[in-house]
Amino acid sequence: MRSVRRKFRASAEPSFIYPGFVILALLLLYLLNVSYNLHYFYIRGGGDDSGYFAWLTSNAHDWPIANPDVIGGYFLSIHMSPIFFVSTLLLTPLSDLPVAVRFCIFISLWAPLLWMALFLLLNRFAAITFGQRCAIAFLLTFNGLTLSMMGFPHIEVLIPALGLLAIAVCLRAGTAAAWAAGGIIALLALAIREDAGFHLFLPLLAMTAVSAWERDRRTMWRCLGLAALSFAGSLLALWMQRHGTPNGGQLLGYIYLGNPVLAHLSVAGLSRRVLYWATRREYIFLPFLALLIFASRLGLGDRRLLLGAAIALPWLTLSLFAASQQAGDLWSYYCFPLVFMLFWPLLLGQCGSSVPRRLLSVQITMGGLSTAAFVAVGVLPNVGDGGSHDRAPWRHLLPPSPTLIRLTESSLAHRDGWLFDYGAAALALGSLRPGQFRAGLAFDDADLRAAHGFVRFDTEPAFLAPQIAALQRVFPACTPVDGTALQVCSRAF
């Protein structure tokens, strides 16, 4: 009788409800992220890096992509990211919109892409219903690592989203069109940054090994093919950067290895970094620890879970030794390669003919730990920074008004003799000249003497308070710009 009721319910359910619900979920996730990112630029005041990417997203017109005048040089010498040629082409019909708005339209794709990837990977767990897959995919999409990256939008967040989607599509492809779609998605992931292929290669290699052990030759060859494509893609990107751009390929040494190589390392520095990870990066290391515990407690057959920890070790080791403090502390987008570790139980479930249901329990536990830890150390007041750039994300879920965006943009236009803070520079980077913005707001005396005034967001983060105070001693007459979050500060007369 129970099976009859199930069949009746299935037959009575409209056939369009599943794709319709998926489309609605993707649309809601996308609009939520667009709204949040618009708040980042126009209410909270964006960072210069995000403004840099916003400009590049619509201004990749030549090789090797000339930077804005205030930065100088060529972007592809820093990162091999041909994805900007794709975004510029796609956003051309929206050229009447401000650069930051176009960037929000582009970067916000990561959430629906990641949700779709997780939804497809969850299809292997046949015991759960359609609604459960939707809900679990939603909860896992907003894990601690992605929440950290949301606070400081960089294109790196698209690497795990597109990479996981490519894996999900290619492993289940049964037609030429599906194969083509999976290949295009994989190439887009590789186009985001020169090392994207290396980060994809490690989980794919681990999946190849598991599939070979399980005698799942179909999955083994597909994973091996994607792994080879990923590794070759990164090698090609590095070769092109080294030989096709001026002074290209220097970032690894500058950010991670230091100059002289590893000369920055000390016992005290490494101890401080490990302590920082333990007290500020729980959203990364609690799931990592859970993976190790589940691998040891679930029996010999699930020692495969240890491969999830193994694929994270190269990046963790490089980050531990990094010369840059932000890279070494795994701030924001620097944690993106570890997303593959976080979703290893789902990837493991794609290998072999049978899928242990307990893998889903492991995955949900890891995702829940990551989200809860991020909220605890990154959002709750008086707990810790946790890599969060936003203590009250719930305030930024509805989009700022078009009037506010228009007034903000017009207030920043035609200010050739003014200095800009991070948030103002993020919106006006393409029109700034050298001396109008400096990293750390470290303007020299010549900059200050020549400037008419200083434009800033009144929502500057606390760590910039000393620099803002110094600037306001030079430009003490500050006036809010009606209808915006801006202040214009000038000299007292």
Reported as a single tens digit per residue, the pLDDT across 384-418 is 665 566 767 777 888 899 999 999 999 999 898 89
Rounded CA-CA distance 419/422 in Å is 10
Whether omega before 64 lies within 30 degrees of 0, making that bond cis, reads yes
Which band of pLDDT confidence, cut at 50, 70 and 90, is reported for residue 380?
A: confident
This prediction has a pTM of 0.92
pLDDT digits (tens, 9 = 90+) for 65-87: 999 998 999 999 999 999 999 99
Around 407, how many Cα atoms within 13 Å sit in the side-chain half-sphere?
14
For residue 7, the model assigns a pLDDT of 40
For residue 9, the model assigns a pLDDT of 39
For residue 357, the model assigns a pLDDT of 81
Mean pLDDT value across the chain: 89
pLDDT digits (tens, 9 = 90+) for 310-322: 999 999 999 999 9
CA dihedral of 187, 77, 238, 86, whole degrees rounded to 10: 10
What is 241-267 written as a DSSP string? Answer: HHHHSTT-S-HIIIIIITTTTTTT--H
Which band of pLDDT confidence, cut at 50, 70 and 90, is reported for residue 33?
A: very high
In the predicted structure, residue 6 carries a pLDDT above the cut 50: no
Residue whose entry in the numeric block shows the structure tokens 């003799």: 417
pLDDT digits (tens, 9 = 90+) for 466-475: 888 888 889 9
* Phi, psi (rounded to 5 degrees) for 418: -110, 155
In the predicted structure, residue 38 carries a pLDDT above the cut 60: yes
For residue 322, the model assigns a pLDDT of 93
